[in-house]
Copies of this chain bind each other. A is one copy, B any other.
Amino acid sequence: MPSSAASAVPVCLPVEGLDPCGHCGARHLSVCGALAEEGLRRLAGLAHPVEVAADAVLMREGDPADQLINITAGAVRVSKLLADGRRQIVGFLFAGDFLGLASGETYPFSAEAIGPVSVCRFRRAAYRGLLAELPALEGALLDRSSDDLRAAQNHMLLLGRKTATERVASFLLDVSRRSGEGSAIELPMSRAEIADYLGLTIETVSRTLTRMKTAGVISLPGLRSARVERPDRLAALASGEAP
């Protein structure tokens, strides 16, 4: 998943000389706690989140990459499409995650809000200028980018070599790791989004979850939530034990 979420609450850093945000008018850089270190801390200020409606398109694959976006609340899906409509979701983004760090001329993927989302937008040019002034920021972004790459490689292993059960179990473990220590899991995304993330169909995801529930490994209190009843068994499923 691109820009894995940090545990810290996102904060916004007002930066002099930065172009005003197109949405809230403030001159700031919203970063998560992990980024707000060293020389950056002197810039720390208050957040000015911008609300975006559910299913809003944050960026479209192929459009000129002139904006940098920082998610401050909610969940975002990052996806790529084939000509005939087949979709691969390459990652989910949450509060603190960045979007548009890559250096190309155009966005290599689309990003859409899953439910209502708060974001901060920055003009790419302003962001580049800031990088020149703050070398530490570039290092932080490189770390971030490295994390994304590592996540992408793990996901390639999942998509290329894991069975449906292993994919769903790995996914549940990932999400449960992200969403704190409790065994309760929030699933902001639909079955279709899970399927497009795992390279499966809706039906296979549904069947696999049902089978896990029947086996007592998980429970499904609601459509958008799950609970890990047997973490050991779930981990076993993720790493390829018998069904």
Name A residues whose Cβ lies closer than 8 Å to a Cβ of B: 2, 80, 82-84, 86-88, 90, 101-104, 108-109, 131, 135, 138-139, 141-143, 145-150, 152-157, 159-162, 196, 198-199, 239-240
* Residues of the B chain whose Cβ atoms lie less than 8 Å from the Cβ of A145: 142, 145-146, 149
Q: Are A199 and B153 in contact (CB under 8 A)?
A: no
For A141, the chain B residues whose CB sits under 8 A away are 142
Asked if residues B153 and A103 are in contact (CB atoms below 8 Å), the reply is no
Given contacts A152-B152, A153-B152, contact A199 B161 (CB under 8 A): yes
Q: Is the CB of A161 within 8 A of B82?
A: yes
- A161: B residues at CB distance < 8 A: 82, 86-88, 199
Among candidates B103, B150, B239, residue contacting A146 with C-beta atoms closer than 8 Å: B103
**5 chain-A/chain-B pairs, Cβ below 8 angstroms:** A2-B149, A80-B157, A88-B160, A103-B142, A160-B196
Looking across the interface, which residue of chain B has its beta carbon closest to that of A131? B139
Add 11 more A-B contacts to A102-B149, A145-B145 (CB < 8 A). A80-B156, A87-B161, A88-B160, A90-B157, A104-B146, A135-B135, A141-B142, A145-B146, A156-B156, A156-B159, A160-B196
A135 to chain B, nearest CB (A): 4
Which residue on chain B has the smallest CB distance to residue A81? B157
Closest residue to A102 on the B side, CB-wise?
A: B146
Considering only CB atoms, which chain B residue lies closest to A159 in the complex?
Answer: B159
In the assembled complex, how far is the CB of residue A94 from the closest CB belonging to chain B, in whole angstroms? 18
